[in-house]
Structure 1
Amino acid sequence: MEQLKHFSHEHLLNLIQLHPDHNNENSDKEDEDEDKDDLVVEDRHVGKCKMCKEEIYSFHLCYYSCKDCDYSMHEFCAKLPTTQQNHPLHPGHNLTLSEGYQLHDPDINFIYNVDSEWKCDICKGNQKRFYNYHCSICKFNMDIICATMSKQKMDHPSHPHQLQRYFRQMMSRCNACGNEHSGSFYHCNTCSCFMIHLNCALLPAKLLIQESTNESFSHPHSLTLTYSFPYIEQKAKFFPRCRVCNGFFSACLWHYGCNKCRYYAHVDCATSKREAFMSILMRAGLGKTYKNFKDNDHPNLIRCPFPDESVNLLMHNFINKGELIIKGKIDGERFSHEHPLILFDTLLNGSISLHDPMKKVELLCDGCVRPITALPFYKCSEHDCGFVLHEWCTRLPSEIQDHHDHPEHTLVLMPKVPRKSLGIYFCKICLLPSNGFAYGCLQCEYYVDTNCGFIPDVITHEAHPNHLLLRFKAPVDQYVRACKACRFSMAKRLGFHCPACDFYLHTKYALLLPRTIRHKYDEHPLSLRYSPVENHISEYFCDICEDEFNPTKWFYHCSTCASSMHTACAPLKLQCEQSTYSEYNSSTFVFSNVKFGRTHEIMGHPHPLTFVQGISDDGQCSVCNERLQYHTVLKCFRCKFALHVRCAILPT
């Protein structure tokens, strides 16, 4: 071991070798048994140099230390000569090394070392009891930091060339994090535009964030520091956003990431060096939020998503078991039905079965077009008629005054919308087609389905817990606001938002997607997911349509089978599962509010036609020759005849 006797210390100093802890690890493979002791956030230095008073960092490679006492110094500080000739910063005169600064008394021709504050003529910094080089001829003083600047270099894995420290403290934009910093910078002499702040240069190659964020955000795995995020890689991952601040990534800036969980964060977000993750400033459900309301102030608050397909908004609004009036029979004329309706409160002799997708049994309410999964409910007294209603749908009010989206006119309950083929209309709020009951204004041709007729003023949602979500309608210029579920614009759409956070949600995702669903393709319940699944080592493919999808958009997932599917590919209507339709590849099923299955007579065809969703095998419309797939279709099962509903001429 090399030893040095230095004039500033009474003991011998030993040369200690350092090993930089920076390794550019961009591989998707991580050692599952990695030692967590190597994942320390602030393992940046080994002490201070007694001469220049600056930290000794790992990139200095080696330093001198005393084994008998706490005394260390940089290698380049320890080897400074007591006299320098022709120093680049002060050529022509000799410079003398001393502590403090020197004052020459010409009367006695003696030089004093003065223990008071002095200023470096290079960096203009004020110093006291600090080693410097002094020129007695020019009264020039230069601290040893400036004197050794040309030797303060680092080899950093983010850049192919050696980096040189700038001569003085400065404020500039860092090429690592993209933010402005003040302090020490290192730059490349070859690439004049590249420079990084010292703090960014010392970022650990591995980072665990659970214990350093005050529970504001967390991730169970170590994050790897990566020095770029190329556009093609971001595109392959569907342009992920920072899981702390929800911001986008720059292709040239550094970030921390866990590829197997698709968890990515800006370097200063992951290290808690910015305050964007604080609850009051935090965006869109990324991290821990603190409750901003009292339950007693909202006794009837709707908490979304609903547990499963058996619960819906109308049930929440109208059922009151303490005041439920049971009737054995009601008149069907109120609902434009020609037969009386009988209350079913028991299931006898297998005459009818409740909705159960696992048993391929479908029973949909003709009013709200939601599944009937529990007793009691009303059914048409005629055995062959499939008209059924939830008990609470029989108690829908006949009109709605001052509807929030159409306050100028009263909306009237319409069991069948007039002047619409098969009663199919498009809801003005969720924009989905429906053939269920509607609340409408004939004067304005304004129609909404029964669920959208009673959208609450405020809800909560577990995708953004503890904060109230208020109903609002985005103005035309609100295009920059994107729905958290589908990532598409909120412009001119009714939805919910959190005023304190950048969180927006279309109405249909909040109210139509249950927390869990059952699907015949999976024996386990599938849960609604709002972000990528932890330890998901592969890409995300929908088990129904087999297309790859973006896991930052909502989807359903079975953690037991590791299977996933689009929210649009998990419909509750059995006959539609053979040909799913995904609007923008991430949405609610486009025919969620349509009840298929009834037969109809049309002019020009001798057989009854069944109302179904078109599939690829149906080919083209017999009238307009356009494809039938993904459209509402009338189809003859006796002969190869099918046409769009819009092309059919129905008897008056």
Structure 2
Amino acid sequence: MLVFFNLRILNRNEIDPLDAKSIFHSKHKEENNIDPDDGNSKLCGACNVPIFSTPFKATESGSGYLHDQCSNLPIDSDCSDLHPSLEPLEKQPNLEKSNCSHCKAVCGDVLYRCRGPGCGFQLNVTCAWTVKIMHRSHDHRLTVFRCSAADASFACCACGTGHRPGLLWVPSMPLVYVCGPCGFWLHPHCAALPNVIEHQSHKHPLLLNYGIRSSTCQCAICGEEVSSWGVYSCTMCRYYVHIMCAVTERQSFESVLLGEAFGDGRIPGLVHFPVPDEYTSIVRHITKNTPTTSDVKLQHRHPLTLHHDYPIYKEADDEVDRPPTCNACVQFISPPFYSCSWCPKLFLHDSCARLPSVLRQNPIAIPLDLIDLKTIESTTCCNRNTNAFTFRRHSTNMDVMCALMPTSITHAAHAKTHVLRSSASGDLEACRCCGGLLSGVSYKCGTCRNFSIHGTCARLPATVRHVCDPHPLKLVTAPPPRRQPQTNTIYCDACERGLDDARWHYGCAECKQAFHVECVPCLDKLSLVKYEMVEVSERCHECPLTLVRVHMVCGRQCGVCRKGYLGHRDSTAFACFKCYFSIHVSCAFTWKIEAIISRINCL
């Protein structure tokens, strides 16, 4: 049951609907990349309220912080309900660390003082104005209200309980944070909870998380379901603890700074992206931090040989030495890896060779079976075609990289200590990389709530190679400085179409070239197809035909219909490079159908 304070300003009926719509429910898209621990401890110089996740500005001296709202306070304040006077209150610096005449709290560096002669009435910023902050527990701005300790016994939406005086993790603060339209109330104790704790009940550090709230999760200490909005959880285990169960007894836990926990690698299951280049195995990168792989190697009808050096593989079409791709994840092979002397097209990363037959911990939380497709099918997670290994159950079909993505990641394109957590695909959030709405395996920042990204976009390597540039291309994740309007348009050097530099792309500063992500062959929609595994025998040609990308046969004519190849870059064809022969994929199936009809007519 919510308790309304004995303050006129807290009457919800007096909240301006226009103010509620325009301020409470407008998401601030400015990023706050401050460390969450610093956000809890560092106070705004004007209002003395913690910075939290609120966009802020540094003070002129550079030694302090100001909320974005507090950095632009009006000169005068008309607080006639608190100080009936004809004179307005004037903003002045608080040089003497004076107390507020209304709430008796020490004012910040700024206060509002009556201009009337002989009147010493003064207010701090939170009493003079409605201050709104951002906190990672809620999507909207929270209004700061001052209250007495006796009044602060409402049900907090973070922990789901009423609070009693004397909680130990922060000093007592006569404040409450409220989102009126949502009915969201946050106690100052829960607003400043430690972000990481080491608890005596679990072997791994526990991270503070908001938004789990599920009847399928039970508190490991009290056994009751996790129905509150906030919870401490383990990034590796399905281990959840109520906030109050975790921190009420001071001797049962120890606070850990996020920066120290990340730097020491003390948080298992937390995977950092991006990987260095396209030769880095994503499966190996994920499984070294998560207990996903099995100790049993995949069964094959022939003995598999383990290699510790890079392989050399010669493509017949261009006589260029290229590494082969893994049959499980279709990434370039890197050591250590397995091969089969009897099956020259079989290659497996060491981590891919130990994929579990049943994957129980995955983004959709249902057991998935490992399948070797053999044929080209579309995945349900990222809508890409593949003929490699997938994890499947009923209508769900996930490639191995999407299926193995962890629940929590960090990314170099965002704040160092901000954890990105797996997000429901129905969230109407735009991906920071490609601009598309979140779908499939996706992540949102649990701290500032202003960074969202697809799982496939998060896996983009920091550098890639492209045939059009002699240097490694670097992933560009930040828009360039503002340019003159006439120089805004840039073009992709692969497809020669316009490139939006506000989206992530690859570029070479030395050659001044830029490329769409989808114009890099090892990252596009056909990057999960292992082409050399798809061969067909056609009566129109005596040699087996291998599936290839259309750009490899551009300038030729189809051996069946005699037409050229004008397909999109994501199109395919069948080719025999030994004989310089190729046909459309559609012509291959048409030829087979016509041959069957011809045989039937001859009967």
TM-score by length of 2: 0.48
Structure of higher CA gyration radius: 1
